[in-house]
Amino acid sequence: MALPYLLYYLWETSGQGPLDTWAGLSARAVLCYHVFMERRVEQARRFDHVLVHYGEVGLKGQNRPRFEKALIDNIARALSGLHIKAVRKLYGRLLVDLAPESPWEEVRDRLGRVCGVVNFSPAHRVEATLEDIEAAVDEAIAPHTFESFRVQTKRADKTFPLKSPDLNAHIGTRIQAATGAAVDLSDAAELTVVIEIVSGTALVACGRQLGPGGLPVGIAGRVVCMLSGGIDSPVAAYYMLKRGCQVDFVHFHSYPYTDRASVDKVVEIARLLTRFQYRATIALVPFAEVQQRIVAETPAPLRIILYRRFMVRIAEAITRQDGASALVTGESLGQVSSQTLANLSTIEAAATTPIFRPLIGMDKQEIISIARAIGTYEVSIQPHDDCCSFLMPNRPATRSTLEQLEAAEAPLDVDGLVSMALEGAETEKLVWP
């Protein structure tokens, strides 16, 4: 940045007349370009706050301060490194105080993944006078092009002289006169200008973005999600994150019988999900020897159910080590043979820890649309060697009974196999940002 000024200074002090040398001309051109770019950057983001609304967090009665604190802490963590000056509470909303160098696109992406945030908007904070509000509205709408708009005022501070409908009408008339856009009070309006007046301060916001909603991660406790590398289990994990759970992961692999890239792919999915919770662990559990024992000792149609029962036993042990309270899977009723009602209950009988299946009533298209929205879909559909397609039976049973499974497991050293798998597990810590 200093170079154009240096050139300009050298030219000015060289005793040359204006614009009569090549150096003079080029120095002036470079300076003009830089001044122009600086103005553009300034114009690109004049607002210095983000107004954050939360929904369910606000309904928690006596626990409300605890939920609000968790949300504030999570927002501060999510935005760390982005020069945020403060995140504070303001009458049932939160206000993020940006520095001039805070990069808005990055702030927007990260806030959009903070569970508990319902929506947020760039905001101008001014004194609650009509003049200042008018000026802030002019600035706020400047970057937008729109054919229809509406103004929504909320007045927590009743000392402001105009009532909300009167301020809406006044500001609306001004915007109409300046832009020619039409007033549309419905949700179809292309731009909504929000004015919130709280204790002597007015916040003027537009350009609302949606957050995930739900509850702040961590507030509900800890669970362990069985993460497979497919489309479903990352979505199941996301639903638990949204209900305020910290989610750790366990993945079973058949490496070295399957390739290492498949394990790396699952770690990548866990990393993507860590963007919603800042910290997570993934336990990578070798499963090939367990599978080989099952294949050698038990009837082929029951294999998949037996694999799952061992996975659940091992994951339950990891859940205990982790201090977590429940297991989570991406199962959805009837999607594949191991997910019939009969098989889900015989799998579940192998554990005493509760097993949550947030996708149980969802169909594949619904699951895929969430996977796309949370950014895991593209990784999930990459080719993958699943440990269960290795040593897969031709005709898996759709209706198993507990007696059948217990008889099939009789020749196996169940505890020994579980301990062996646990001993081979490697745990990776994931941190974001």
In whole angstroms, how close is the CB of 428 to Mg ion at the nearest point? 21
How many secondary structure helices (H) and strands (E) does the chain include?
15, 15
Q: Which residue has the tokens 């103005």?
A: 39
Q: Choose the binding region for Mg ion from 190-198, 222-230, 277-285, 337-345 (rule: CB under 5 A).
A: 222-230
In whole angstroms, how close is the CB of 331 to ligand ATP at the nearest point? 5
Pick one of ligand ATP, Mg ion, none as the site partner of residue 68 (Cβ within 5 to 8 A by kind): none
Query: Under rule CB under 5 A, how many of the chain's residues touch Mg ion?
Result: 2
Closest residue to Mg ion using C-beta atoms = 230
Pick one of ligand ATP, Mg ion, none as the site partner of residue 231 (Cβ within 5 to 8 A by kind): ligand ATP
Contact 151, 193 (CB under 8 A): yes
Q: Choose the binding region for Mg ion from 100-108, 230-238, 251-259, 287-295 (rule: CB under 5 A).
A: 230-238
Residue 164, H or E segment: helix 164-179
Pick one of Mg ion, ligand ATP, none as the site partner of residue 233 (Cβ within 5 to 8 A by kind): ligand ATP
In whole angstroms, how close is the CB of 378 to ligand ATP at the nearest point? 14
Tally of CA atoms within 13 A in the half-sphere of 231 that contains its CB: 18
Residue 300 DSSP label:
G
Nearer to ligand ATP (CB atom), residue 104 or residue 390? 390
User: Helix %, strand %, coil % for the chain, to 5?
Assistant: 45, 20, 35
Phi, psi of 397 (to 5 degrees): -70, 140
Pick one of Mg ion, ligand ATP, none as the site partner of residue 153 (Cβ within 5 to 8 A by kind): none
The candidate with the shortest Cα–Cα distance to 327, out of 340, 309, 306, is 309
Cβ contacts of 262-266, under 8 Å, gap ≥ 24: 262/229, 262/384, 262/385, 262/386, 265/229, 265/379, 265/382, 265/384, 266/227, 266/228, 266/229
Nearer to ligand ATP (CB atom), residue 246 or residue 329? 329
- Interface with Mg ion (CB under 5 A), residue from 230, 301, 375, 393: 230
Contact 272, 406 (CB under 8 A): no
Q: What is the DSSP string of 385-420?
A: --TTTTT--SS--SS--HHHHHHHHTTS-HHHHHHH
Nearer to ligand ATP (CB atom), residue 251 or residue 265? 251
Closest residue to ligand ATP using C-beta atoms = 230
* Residue 228 binds to Mg ion (criterion: CB under 5 A): yes
In whole angstroms, how close is the CB of 410 to ligand ATP at the nearest point? 24
Nearer to ligand ATP (CB atom), residue 168 or residue 262? 262
In whole angstroms, how close is the CB of 153 to ligand ATP at the nearest point? 47
In whole angstroms, how close is the CB of 395 to ligand ATP at the nearest point? 16
Which residues of this chain interact with ligand ATP, rule CB under 6 A? 226-228, 230-233, 251-252, 311, 329-331, 335-336, 338, 387-388
Residue 62 DSSP label:
G
Phi, psi of 86 (to 5 degrees): -165, 155
The candidate with the shortest Cα–Cα distance to 274, out of 424, 426, 57, 74, is 74
Pick one of Mg ion, ligand ATP, none as the site partner of residue 227 (Cβ within 5 to 8 A by kind): ligand ATP
Check the CA dihedral 300-304-310-314 and report its sign: positive
In whole angstroms, how close is the CB of 362 to ligand ATP at the nearest point? 11
Pick one of ligand ATP, Mg ion, none as the site partner of residue 251 (Cβ within 5 to 8 A by kind): ligand ATP
Task: Map residues 179-218 to x or -, x wherever contact with Mg ion holds by CB under 5 A.
Answer: ----------------------------------------
Nearer to ligand ATP (CB atom), residue 246 or residue 262? 262
Pick one of ligand ATP, Mg ion, none as the site partner of residue 252 (Cβ within 5 to 8 A by kind): ligand ATP
Dist. CA 323–CA 317, nearest whole Å: 10
Dist. CA 340–CA 336, nearest whole Å: 7
Note the residues at the interface with Mg ion (CB under 5 A): 228, 230
